[in-house]
Chain A
Amino acid sequence: MAQLRQDFAEFEKRQTTILVIGPDNAAAFLKYWQENSLPFIGLPDPEHIVLKSYGQQINLFKFGRMPAQVLVDKNGTARFVHYGHDMTDIPKNSEMLALIDSL
């Protein structure tokens, strides 16, 4: 999250909106957003509706859910999908920005 905040302007420059979806409730989101002054849109999904429809994997052997990222272009088409295998398996901003440039 801190990594994304760092390059927020670069994503904005490329006309890319960042939506963060998570299993926490609105109060937990709000607290986290305030504590970290995050510039992107936070979407609490405590009922896991979107998390399930996008297939975020639940690893039964480790606590918690794995991170995932999906890049959707202006036509609403999914152009990049990354399902993390562990907590630290998140694509680098430079990779995402290069990908956006190639759309």
Chain B
Amino acid sequence: MAQVTLNAPAPEFSLADLTGKTVNLSDFRGKTNVLLVFNRGFM
């Protein structure tokens, strides 16, 4: 299974948020750090 490599570019992605707005990881480049939290589900 693919895993993230440390000190290498984080894989780009594009997903719709709760309001339907598209969020790309690259939207934050040069602006803020990003903490990605992978949730296991709300059950």
Interface residues of A (CB under 8 A from B): 1, 4, 11, 14-24, 26, 28-30, 32-33, 40-45, 49-57, 64-81, 83, 87, 96, 100, 103
Contact = CB atoms under 8 A, between A and B. Distances in A.
Contacts of A18: 34-35, 37
Interface in B1-43: 1-13, 15-18, 20, 23, 25-26, 28-43
Contact of B33 (A1, A20, A66, A100): A100
Give me the 8 closest cross-chain CB pairs, A-B, nearest first: A22-B39, A55-B3, A68-B38, A16-B33, A65-B40, A78-B10, A70-B36, A43-B15
Contacts, number: 158
B16 A26 contact: yes
**Majority SS of interface residues in chain B?**
loop
Contacts of A79: 6-7
Given A22-B42, A30-B18, A87-B40, A17 B3 contact: no
Contact of B37 (A4, A33, A44, A66): A4
Contacts of B29: 74-76
